[in-house]
Amino acid sequence: MARVTITQVAAHAGVSIASASRALNGQIASAETIAKVRDAAAALGYIADATAQSLKRGRTDQLAYAVADIGNPVYVEMMSVIERVVSSSGYRLVLSSTGTSSSSVDVVRDLGRGYVDGMILSPLRVTDELLAALAASPVPVVVLGRLPDGAPLDNVRADSPTAMRLIVDHLVAEGRRDLAFVNGPADTTPGMYRRDGFAAAVAAHPDVATRSVDAADFTIAAGYAAALEALQHDRRPDAIVAANDLIGIGALRAAEDLGLTVPDDISITGVDNTELAGVLRPGLTSVDLGAEERGRVAADLLLARISEPSRPAHTVTVAPTLVVRGSSSRAHDHGRIAPFVEGGSGDPDLDEERAAG
């Protein structure tokens, strides 16, 4: 069926094409003309050409959210918050999967096609090529994830080094002295900062032995394979520090398949504090990196950048919080939250006393 045109609407209403266009686009027109044109449009089933309208107005009323893995619960949590914030300002959110670092570059370069007014990007890898593409972007981009210091872009960061310190200090307070760090790919931004954060955290405990295994990806399956490798080492660790919750869930499964009891035989912790961490039995101790807050801040920064393109670039770091569950300690209540305390011990009782002053 042929699409009804504005020319047909104008003819049906008995007005000029220009008058019909003004009436349909909210421009100045008499009440009588507006009524005639709207009645004609309804009678004919006229649907405005959104592409043409967006080109005419110079905006699409769409924003993009681009992530490496649309199935990762952390990205889903951030997406929900971002959607709520931008929709309240009249924008529709579209989702894009970037996958590899080269795909991230392609997604940014595609912004030149004019399909969105801005983007929130969460890349796994930050390369010189990606930074160049971001610098040349015709629309504003806010990056979720750490950028090099001084990069002239709005940037919302998690604090992975502090997250690792909270976990290590907690495990040491629980009496663990042989920690295996199961990371994701170390050439990714989260992999690099969590690896370095773990190394710095254990350096404060000279009596703690460590080893590291890199999983092929930040997924349950990859975490399972890497945890099996760590657990079947000649010297079995008494704790696994997983770089995210999905790897941690894989580690829980690996421990179960090897006949180990959690946390009696081995403690397991994660990062992200996803909903999955709380529904497992035992629940997975995890560091909450503030996914909801990071999503909200990123959305606010993007809207502010669209409104004021020349404003200075902002970098926001969201503080982490340790959530202690049964995978690392039977002594703490399920889901108990340990507040972040600078120099904290990782013990909720002690740190709450310090926080209270």
Tell me the pLDDT tens digit for each residue of 225-264: 999 999 998 889 999 999 999 999 999 999 999 999 999 9
pLDDT value, residue 98: 80
The size of the chain, in residues, is 357
Instruction: Give the pTM.
Output: 0.77
- Asked if 305 and 311 count as a contact pair (C-beta separation under 8 A), the reply is yes
pLDDT value, residue 332: 55
| Secondary structure of residue 143 in the 3-state scheme | strand
Mean pLDDT confidence for 117-138? 94
> Is it the case that residue 219 has pLDDT exceeding 70?
yes
Mean pLDDT confidence for 75-104? 88
Domains contained in the chain, CATH given: 6-48 (no CATH), 62-158+292-318 (3.40.50.2300), 160-288+327-356 (3.40.50.2300)
Mean pLDDT confidence for 88-100? 86
Residue of 38, 42, 50, 144 whose CA lies nearest to 92: 50
Which range in 28-32, 50-54, 147-151, 319-323 is most confidently predicted, on average pLDDT?
319-323
Residue of 109, 96, 105 whose CA lies nearest to 68: 96
- Asked if 198 and 241 count as a contact pair (C-beta separation under 8 A), the reply is yes
At residue 340 the predicted structure's pLDDT band, cuts being 50, 70 and 90, is very low
Calculate ∠ Cα 343-348-350, nearest 5°. Answer: 65
117-121, 149-153, 176-180: the lowest-pLDDT one: 149-153
- Report which of residues 196 and 96 the model is more confident about: 196
Average model confidence (pLDDT) for the chain? 87
| Secondary structure of residue 155 in the 3-state scheme | strand
Q: Distance (Å, rounded) from C-alpha 80 to C-alpha 83? A: 5
99-108, 282-291, 295-304: the lowest-pLDDT one: 99-108
Residue of 292, 305, 294 whose CA lies nearest to 119: 305
Mean pLDDT confidence for 304-310? 94
Q: Distance (Å, rounded) from C-alpha 186 to C-alpha 198? A: 12
pLDDT value, residue 169: 97
pLDDT value, residue 97: 81
Q: Distance (Å, rounded) from C-alpha 87 to C-alpha 106? A: 26
> Is it the case that residue 342 has pLDDT exceeding 80?
no
Calculate ∠ Cα 171-184-222, nearest 5°. Answer: 100
> Is it the case that residue 51 has pLDDT exceeding 60?
no
The residues pairing with 271 across neighbouring beta strands, listed in sequence order, are: 287
Strands 336-338 and 321-324: antiparallel
pLDDT value, residue 48: 65
pLDDT value, residue 337: 40
Task: Give 228's contacts (C-beta < 8 A, 6+ positions apart).
Answer: 254, 257, 258
